[in-house]
Each structure stands twice: as structure tokens, then as C-alpha cells.
Amino acid sequence: MSEARTMRNFIETIPATGDGYCRVCDHPYSKLLPDEEKAHRVYHRRYLRAVDGVGAPVPRYVRQEMTHEGLRKMRHGETLEERVEGAELWLRARHHDHLEQVLRDGSERLDVRAFFTRMEEDGLEGRFADDVARELRRRYSDNWTGY
């Protein structure tokens, strides 16, 4: 990646320290610290390969919007379908957090179904209303055996 392209994609958040993030891969770094710039270049290449291959996380601000909209629908949806739609938005945002973690540390990549099944093992109680949790299990759980 060229130096000019790197700077064009850099969004500075704290001018005094040179801190910011890449608008493409969302990786935070300081343009004043060569080791951080190098780490960004490595991550950026891995990110672009992931985009071409298995998929990559949406930017952090998109995940935040998905989370907020999902929570709004879960809390204020009048029908089960609206509340489940909100839970699915929230779930997809968490899955994109997982994809970001995979890119950062090379951990095992899970598809949405496997990710939900692992999350389910940690417990859904308190995260979702009972009827929403039941519907999510039906749609996404590898462990679902019926009502």
C-alpha cells in the first residue's frame, strides 16, 4: 500500500498524538509511531484478503448503529417478528465484532450459526425475552430440538 494512499485513508482523531484509524479496515494507530504504522499495514493486508475471501467486519460505526437499532426494536417492537428482527441486528453486530477479533488475533472464524450456538452455551437469559430467545434458537442454534 502506498504512503499517499495510507494517509488518504487515515482519519485523525487526536492531532497532538497523531492518533486515528484507517477508514478502510478500522484499525486504530498513531501515524507518528512507525511500529504502529507497520502493524496497521500488516492488519490492512489481512483485512483486504479477508474481504476477498471469507468476509470482513463492517466498520465499527456501522456495528454501533446496528446495535442501537437492534436494541430499539427489541425493546419497542410491537410484534414478535419486530423484536426478533432487532435481536438479529444485535446478533449480526456481535458477529462482526467476532470477525474483527479473528482478523486481529487469528482465532477460529465462526459463521453466524456457530457463533450463536457458542453464545447460547454462555446463556441467553437476560439478553433476550423468552419468546425472542426461543425464536432465535429455532433459527440459529445447532442445538435446537424443537419447542
Residues in a beta bridge with 28: 21
Q: What b/e readout covers 9-31, taking b as 16+ CB neighbours within 10 angstroms?
A: bbeeeeeeebbbbbebbbbebbb
Would you say residue 42 lies in a domain? yes
Domain match, 27 and 97 both:
no
Considering only CA atoms, give the Rg of the chain: 18
DSSP state of 125: B
Each residue's pLDDT expressed in tens, for the chain with a length of 147 residues: 445 555 688 888 988 888 998 888 888 999 999 999 999 998 888 877 766 655 677 888 888 999 999 999 999 999 999 999 999 999 989 988 888 888 777 778 888 888 888 877 667 667 888 899 888 888 887 776 665
Domain match, 46 and 67 both:
no
Residues in a beta bridge with 14: 19
pTM of the model: 0.66
Residue found by looking up cell 470477525 in the block: 99
Backbone angles phi, psi at 31, to 5 degrees: -70, -10
What domain range is 71 assigned to? 60-140
Quote the pLDDT of residue 7: 66
Distance CA 91, CA 113 (A): 10
Domain match, 66 and 7 both:
no
Domain match, 66 and 36 both:
no
Quote the pLDDT of residue 146: 62
Would you say residue 72 lies in a domain? yes
Would you say residue 134 lies in a domain? yes
Residues in a beta bridge with 125: 128
Would you say residue 145 lies in a domain? no
Domain match, 72 and 8 both:
no
Closest CA to 111 of 136, 92, 87, 90: 92
Would you say residue 105 lies in a domain? yes
Distance CA 98, CA 86 (A): 19
Domain match, 65 and 46 both:
no
Domain match, 104 and 131 both:
yes
| Structural domains in the chain (count) | 2
